[in-house]
Amino acid sequence: MNKERKLIIAGNWKMNKTVAEGLDLVRGLKIELANVKEVDVVVCPPFTALSEVSKAILDSSLRLGAQNMSEHNVGAYTGEIAAVMLKEFSVRYVILGHSERRQYQKESDALIAKKAAAVHAASLKPIVCVGETLAEREGGKTEAVLETQVSGSLAGLTKEQMTESIVAYEPVWAIGTGKTASTAQAQETHAFIRRLLAKMFDETVARRVRIQYGGSVKPSNARELMSQPDVDGALVGGASLEVRSFADIIRSSI
């Protein structure tokens, strides 16, 4: 697939996989994806598996991501993980503001913006998630919700930082439900997000930022989604937990 921006496909393991299970998965992926150069492939294990997975993928093109990070650098923040700790394991990407964290941990756009600043300060790359609920889509509020989330969660980034950031559009109603946005819905929404980025930053930045789609991406729908001009990759949950399905998504996207 000849795309303007290099595709980036990330597996969000969420709260799945012990160290042993995670190692099995990445060892399989290393074999299956040994020759893949066309796509940036990222795995995002739980914190407890970062150390071992990091070692296991050293000699491969797989890259490591974390699922969250503290906005603080150090100190009395029980249960939190700082950028410097992630960097010990060669983490390159950090998922921020996933809808599950927005919902269960009540993460706000303002907090996500602080985290994004901390991620960049550590020379890591954030994958900033945005997306509307079913009620919001059905109520015709998709664009208003996205505008609030995009402007709030990316507030304060410089143009250079924005260019290095990744946005993941994940309609909440498509996450883990088996329902995927239609390719037309995905393309239209991604183009809308790109226009927002052009307004907030400029056209050049907007043209360079990679926007992933997330929400029930699987081998059977990946190719069509990735072929849309403004869809630059995927954030994959359930289907990233098995070697076969994650590798098939990547291969079918090339």
CB of 181 to ligand PGA, least distance (A): 11
Is 71 annotated as catalytic?
A: no
CB of 128 to ligand PGA, least distance (A): 12
CB atoms within 10 A of CB 33: 20
Q: Say how far apart CA 42 and CA 61 lie, in whole Å.
A: 9
Out of 98, 100, 107, 164, which one is annotated catalytic?
98
What distances in angstroms separate CA 245 from CA 69, 141, 211, one per listed residue?
27, 33, 21
Query: 126 to 165, contacts with ligand PGA by CB under 6 A?
Result: none
> Rounded to the nearest 5°, which phi and psi values hold at 181?
-60, 145
Query: 53 to 72, contacts with ligand PGA by CB under 6 A?
Result: none
Task: Rule CB under 6 A: say whether 236 interacts with ligand PGA.
Answer: yes
User: Which residue, 186 or 205, has its beta carbon nearer to ligand PGA?
Assistant: 186
User: Which residue, 161 or 221, has its beta carbon nearer to ligand PGA?
Assistant: 221
User: Which residue, 195 or 252, has its beta carbon nearer to ligand PGA?
Assistant: 252
Contact yes or no for 57/42 (Cβ under 8 A): no
Count CA atoms within 13 Å of residue 13 on its CB side: 26
Query: 162 to 221, contacts with ligand PGA by CB under 6 A?
Result: 170, 175-176, 214-217
Q: Which of 237, 243, 249, 253: binder of ligand PGA (CB under 6 A)?
A: 237
Out of 71, 100, 136, 170, which one is annotated catalytic?
170
User: Which residue, 150 or 205, has its beta carbon nearer to ligand PGA?
Assistant: 150
Task: Rule CB under 6 A: say whether 22 interacts with ligand PGA.
Answer: no
CA 74 to the chain's CA centroid: 25
Stretch that binds ligand PGA, among 58-66, 142-150, 188-196, 237-245 (CB under 6 A): 237-245
CB of 92 to ligand PGA, least distance (A): 18
CA-closest candidate to residue 166, choices 205, 110, 138, 218:
205
Q: Say how far apart CA 156 and CA 154 lie, in whole Å.
A: 6
Q: Say how far apart CA 52 and CA 74 lie, in whole Å.
A: 23
CB of 15 to ligand PGA, least distance (A): 12
CB of 76 to ligand PGA, least distance (A): 31
Task: Rule CB under 6 A: say whether 233 interacts with ligand PGA.
Answer: no
What is the token pair recorded at 5?
């921006």
Q: Say how far apart CA 167 and CA 154 lie, in whole Å.
A: 9
Is 136 annotated as catalytic?
A: no
Which residues have a Cβ under 8 Å from the Cβ of 48 and sit 6 or more positions away?
18, 19
Radius of gyration from C-alpha coordinates of the chain:
17
Residues that bind ligand PGA (CB under 6 A): 12, 170, 175-176, 214-217, 235-239
Q: Which residues are catalytic?
A: 98, 170
